[in-house]
Structure 1
Amino acid sequence: MTRRSVNPPPTGMLYDRLHFSQATRVGDTIWVSGQVGIDVSTMTPADGMDAQARLAFEGVRAALEAGGAGLQDIVELTTFHTDLRGDMDAFSRVKDEYIAAPYPSWTAVGVEQLALPELLVEIRAVAVVGCGDHVDGS
């Protein structure tokens, strides 16, 4: 079995500069690195939870698609929040725009800080390619 780094354009500079892949695929499993609410074209954080969550989910989507999967293939979601209780309603509304039933496992963790002081949320995911096409919602 081979391991493949997944770095969709324009994230290659992050691989070169910070030495990590946006995702790693081994077999049919893809591990997506933590995605944050930064506009990768300007490298600036978005303003507010809604905007940051959307950018982070778009980063998850891009990494999965570059690896041959989609959001429907996510089996585990882990989110890190600097204001877990205060931002959960807003985050959950955005999450529901991207993640449909049957829902994956999800762990939400409150943290003191993320990579930049302006960041509010970080999202990582594990997906199994093609499993979203064959689901049991029970």
Structure 2
Amino acid sequence: MSERNAVVPAGMEAVYEKIRYAPAVKVGRTIYVSGQIGRDASMQLVEGREAQIVQAFDNLKVVLEAAGASLSDVVDVTTFHTDMRDLPLFMQVRERYLNTEPLPAWTAIGAHMLGGAAGYIVEIKAVAVLPG
């Protein structure tokens, strides 16, 4: 069995220490990224729909980089949305981040509440595989 390592980027230590989950777990060449939401490094909700989606993708990027990966290594994405009417906006923002061919698989799911608190509109969970 491959060794499992928690990936905890600088600025996300509170997630691991206080909320008690790893932002990602690396097993061999595969990185399993926990759902990233639109909160900043001070654990505060980012205001504005587009800004919150951007922040969630920025958080995803930070976690991947801490694991030695990049957005182009993402092979599968699952997104959770409190309002599926946000999908066109989400897809516009997603195109800025996940645009390397071949594109990753994607599943979008409607959800009542995200991040354990009201106000969050999107959560992005991903799997990446390092080359080699």
TM-score, normalised via structure 1 length? 0.90
Q: Which runs of 5+ in 1 are unaligned?
A: 132-138
Residue 125 of structure 1 pairs with residue 123 of structure 2 = no
Give the AA of the match of 2:105.
Answer: S
Q: Is this contact kept in 2: 1:7–1:15, CA < 8 A?
A: yes
Q: What's the counterpart of residue 94 of structure 1?
A: 93
> SS of the counterpart of 1:32?
strand
- Superposition misfits of 4+ residues, deviation over 6 angstroms: none
Partner Cα separation in structure 2 for residue 106 and residue 49 of structure 1? 20
> SS of the counterpart of 1:63?
helix
Give the AA of the match of 1:36.
Answer: I
> SS of the counterpart of 1:102?
coil
Shift of 1:14: 1.3
Q: Is this contact kept in 2: 1:69–1:130, CA < 8 A?
A: no
Q: State the identity as a percent.
A: 42
Q: What's the counterpart of residue 68 of structure 1?
A: 68
Q: What's the counterpart of residue 28 of structure 1?
A: 29
Partner Cα separation in structure 1 for residue 126 and residue 73 of structure 2? 10
Q: Is this contact kept in 2: 1:23–1:33, CA < 8 A?
A: yes
Shift of 1:130: 2.2
Q: What's the counterpart of residue 106 of structure 2?
A: 106
Q: Is this contact kept in 2: 1:74–1:126, CA < 8 A?
A: yes
TM-score, normalised via structure 2 length? 0.94
Partner Cα separation in structure 1 for residue 76 and residue 3 of structure 2? 22
Give the AA of the match of 1:89.
Answer: P
Partner Cα separation in structure 2 for residue 102 and residue 93 of structure 1? 18
Shift of 1:44: 1.6
> SS of the counterpart of 2:60?
helix
Q: Is this contact kept in 2: 1:37–1:56, CA < 8 A?
A: yes
> SS of the counterpart of 2:118?
coil
- Structure 1 residues 16-48: Cα deviation after superposition (integer angstroms, max 9, x where no partner): 10110000000000000000001122x221122
Partner Cα separation in structure 2 for residue 130 and residue 37 of structure 1? 28
- Structure 1 residues 31-75: Cα deviation after superposition (integer angstroms, max 9, x where no partner): 00000001122x221122211111111111111111111000000
> SS of the counterpart of 2:75?
strand
